[in-house]
Amino acid sequence: MYGYGYYGLDWTYILVLIGIGITMLASARMNSSFTKYAQIRSSSGLTGREVAERILAANGIYDVAVQPVPGQLTDHYDPSKKIVRLSESIYSSTSVAAIGVAAHECGHAIQDNRSYFPLRFRSAFVPLANLGSRLSWPMILIGLLLAQSGAYLGYNLMSWGILLFSLAVIFQLITLPVEFDASRRALIQLSETGILPAGEKRQAREVLTAAALTYVAAAAASLLQLMRLLILFGGRRRRD
């Protein structure tokens, strides 16, 4: 049977396992890097909040607020409300890791201020990505059940489900240049403002690189899952 190996085992699960492995490795590296440099106090003595405010001011950005947000590594920039939100541990910490994360979120604020097209495009794509994330798997699973009973509607639902899932994958791919550019801007700001000396900047770069790799891993895992769905769907259509 197409798509199945020995003893009826679905070989495409290998793609899922590879995706899980990549994601776990990237997450482990991120946690290790962040934990390491969260224990190293920056020579500047500035907190994440102070770093964010200084970078925003240095770029003439005065319409963006800096606020704490509950949780661990929940830091993000909200372009709709013009708010840099820093997790409580980043907001009040003077560590190299905290400064790197705060600068990264300000990198997004600078992107927004400079009308960076990939950020604007990603923001506009959010509703489609959310739609795909919410509806793709229910449609795929319902379609699979209907297809097993011979209903042609099942194949249509599976097709639409895979299409919706691809929207979520596209969003993750769009996110990659946005995140890498934000980190690039962050490191430039940390140098130009004199917040971090060269040695600490290298440490901050390590944290930001590890964080960026988690986005790469997530995108790779989603692509592998999409590949699996296409293989299984194509094989089922040929068998039926």
Catalytic residue positions?
105
Distance CA 10, CA 14 (A): 8
Burial class (CB in 10 A: 0-12, 13-18, 19+), 111: buried
- The set of residues, in sequence order, having a beta carbon less than 8 Å from that of 48 and lying 6+ positions away, is 86, 90, 91, 92, 93, 98, 99, 101, 102
Six token digits for residue 170 = 């596209």
The bridge status of strand 83-87 relative to strand 76-78 is antiparallel
Residue with tokens 């040929």: 238
Classify burial at 125, counting beta carbons within 10 Å of its beta carbon; exposed 0-12, middle 13-18, buried 19 or more.
middle
